[in-house]
Structure 1
Amino acid sequence: MNNWLNQHRQAIKLVLSRMRSNKLPTFMICLVIAVAMCVPGLFYLGVDHLSKFTNHIQNETEISLFLKLDADKDAVSDIDAVLAKNNAIKQFHLVTKAQAWKELKSKTEINNATDSKISELDKNPLPDAFFIQAKSAEPEALESLKNELEKIPGVEHALLNTDWAKRLSALLSLGKKIILFITVLLALALLVVIGNTIRMQILTQKDEVVVSKLIGATNSFIRMPFLYAGIIYGLLGGLLATIMLVLVVKLFNLSVSDLSNLYSSDFSLPLINGQLFLGIISFAIFIGWLGSYLAVSRSIASIKID
């Protein structure tokens, strides 16, 4: 066990020593990894924040349930009891026709022409109405609940506008697919870059590899330092990507702060996202390991001892 740990420790020290002696190339490969990881990370932050904002808006979506004009107090009470038993409803409240009529008149007092027309009406034309908040904010669930409530006896019409929610949900879904597509493309590009970097290192150290084979070193032993090189490239690139993300998000928040204040909004992207940062670093390490593994396995196998 100690021998195994010592081999890995020596391999890591060797890799770090080589990186210190080639600081600029090491920084450049880490910068490439960081940029490749930062781009989908920024898209993810934007889409994720917009998705949460959309969910908040959807949570405020109400179903307006208008009763028939001739509905009496008993009919209103019956509908109230039906709504109270519906497990899909989070909360609801009743606005009576008298309350709605009073509110309408108060809102139209500033418009003399409209107010005059309303005052000419012989009776209140507005119905009693329930305003319902559903537990689910999904457009399909809201539509299903709306259709169910519309069938209640005494209900004239149920109103729900979820077209905008469906369109926005589709756009967010498309955005997530685009992020996945970009991530895959950049990952493939990183595999090529890291693979070529490791392959060049193997070529420059070909004599060492040959000597190691001559003294009986296994391919896994020879492969070890190059695999650690790919892992460390990925780790450093991932850490650099998180730093870049924090800086870009901070600059973005400063840029939109004035615009947000004009609209009395607190819109801003989260500066620290631990789950995203961990995902970026882990994925960068995996790409670094995979790229180096593919390159070193092929290159070492092609080196023959004369």
Structure 2
Amino acid sequence: MITWLNHHLQAIKLVLSRMRTNLLSTFMICLVVGVAMCLPSLFYLAVDNLSKLTDHMKSETEISLFLKLDATAANIAEIDAVLAKNTAIHQYHLVTRDEAWQQLQAKSKDNSNISSAIEQLGKNPLPDAFYIQAKSADPDTLETLRNTLQSIPGVEQAILNADWAKRLATLLGIGKKLTFFITALLAIVLLVIIGNTVRMQILTQKDEIEVSYLIGATNSFIRMPFLYAGILYGLFGGLLSVLMVGGIIQTFNYSVMEISRLYGSDFSLEIVNAELYLVIIGMAVAIGWIGSYLAVTRAISAIKIS
């Protein structure tokens, strides 16, 4: 076990020494990895925070439940009991026809045309209505809830204005797909870059590798330093990406702070997002390992054949 650990520690020390010797090229490779990982992370943050904004917009996700004009107090109580048992409803309140009539009259005082039209009606044409706020802002969930409420006895019409929610859900869906494709494309680019870098290192050490084979070195022994090189490129690149994302978030928060204050909002992005940062570093390390593994396996096969 101790021998195995010593081999790995020696491989890591060897790789770090080579990186220090070629510090500029090492930094450039890590910078490329960092930028490539930063871009999809920013797209993800944009989509994720748009999703979170829907939680602040639930007050606009309201279903208006208009009762029949001949609804009695008993009918209203029955509907109220049904609404109270529905787990998809966050909260609701009743506006009686008399209250709605008074509100309409109050609002029409400043408009003579509307006021005269109301006076000509002679009687209250408005129904009792429940105004319901759903727990979810998902368009399909809202539509299902609306259909359920529409089927309640005594309900004349259930109206849902969720066009904004549908548009937002569509945009978020496009954003998620775009983030996935950008991540996949950049991952392929990183595989090529890290693979070529490791392959060039193997070519510069071809004589050493051939001598190692002559004295009985195994493929895993030869492969180990190059695999650690890919892992460290990914690790340092991932750390650079985390710093970039944190700096961009901080700059963004400063920029929108004044706008958020004007709209009475405290909206800002979290600078410390441990889950996202771990994913960035983990993906960068994985890409570095895969790229170096493919490159070193192919190069070793070529050396053996030659």
TM range (shorter): over 0.9
1:160 aligns with 2:168: no
Query: Counterparts of 1:90 and 1:241 in 2: how far apart (Å)?
Result: 40
What does 1:228-267 correspond to in 2, within 5 Å?
228-267=228-267
What does 1:35-74 correspond to in 2, within 5 Å?
35-58=35-58, 60-74=60-74
CA-CA distance at 1:159 after TM superposition: 0.7
Q: Deviations over 1:102-126 (max 9, x none)?
A: 2222223333443343344312221
Higher deviation after alignment, 38-47 or 102-111: 102-111
Query: Counterparts of 1:254 and 1:135 in 2: how far apart (Å)?
Result: 32
Query: Counterparts of 1:81 and 1:260 in 2: how far apart (Å)?
Result: 40
Residue number in structure 2 paired with 1:150: 150
Asked if 2 retains the 8 angstrom alpha-carbon contact of 1:96 and 1:129, the reply is: yes
Query: Counterparts of 1:122 and 1:52 in 2: how far apart (Å)?
Result: 47
Aligned AA for 2:82? V
Asked if 2 retains the 8 angstrom alpha-carbon contact of 1:36 and 1:186, the reply is: yes
Q: Deviations over 1:148-198 (max 9, x none)?
A: 221222211111022321221121011101100000000000000000000
Q: Deviations over 1:15-35 (max 9, x none)?
A: 011111110000000000000
Residue number in structure 2 paired with 1:99: 99
- TM-score scaled by length of structure 1: 0.94
Asked if 2 retains the 8 angstrom alpha-carbon contact of 1:59 and 1:137, the reply is: no
CA, structure 1 residues 305+117, in 2 after alignment: closer, same or farther (shift >3 Å)? closer
Higher deviation after alignment, 224-233 or 256-265: 256-265
Query: Counterparts of 1:87 and 1:305 in 2: how far apart (Å)?
Result: 69
Asked if 2 retains the 8 angstrom alpha-carbon contact of 1:40 and 1:183, the reply is: yes
Higher deviation after alignment, 121-130 or 294-303: 121-130
Residue number in structure 1 paired with 2:206: 206
What does 1:1-306 correspond to in 2, within 5 Å?
1-58=1-58, 60-304=60-304
CA, structure 1 residues 81+259, in 2 after alignment: closer, same or farther (shift >3 Å)? closer
Asked if 2 retains the 8 angstrom alpha-carbon contact of 1:187 and 1:287, the reply is: yes
CA-CA distance at 1:59 after TM superposition: 6.2
Query: Counterparts of 2:87 and 2:219 in 1: how far apart (Å)?
Result: 64
CA RMSD of aligned residues (A): 1.8
Higher deviation after alignment, 238-247 or 64-73: 64-73
Provide the aligned length of Structure 1 versus Structure 2. Answer: 306
CA, structure 1 residues 146+177, in 2 after alignment: closer, same or farther (shift >3 Å)? same
Asked if 2 retains the 8 angstrom alpha-carbon contact of 1:213 and 1:305, the reply is: no
Higher deviation after alignment, 78-87 or 171-180: 78-87
The unaligned stretches of length 5 or more in structure 1 are none
CA, structure 1 residues 219+69, in 2 after alignment: closer, same or farther (shift >3 Å)? same
CA, structure 1 residues 127+303, in 2 after alignment: closer, same or farther (shift >3 Å)? same
Asked if 2 retains the 8 angstrom alpha-carbon contact of 1:46 and 1:269, the reply is: no
Higher deviation after alignment, 140-149 or 86-95: 86-95
- TM-score scaled by length of structure 2: 0.94
Query: Counterparts of 1:60 and 1:112 in 2: how far apart (Å)?
Result: 30
**Amino-acid identity (%):** 65
CA-CA distance at 1:305 after TM superposition: 8.4
Aligned AA for 2:242? T
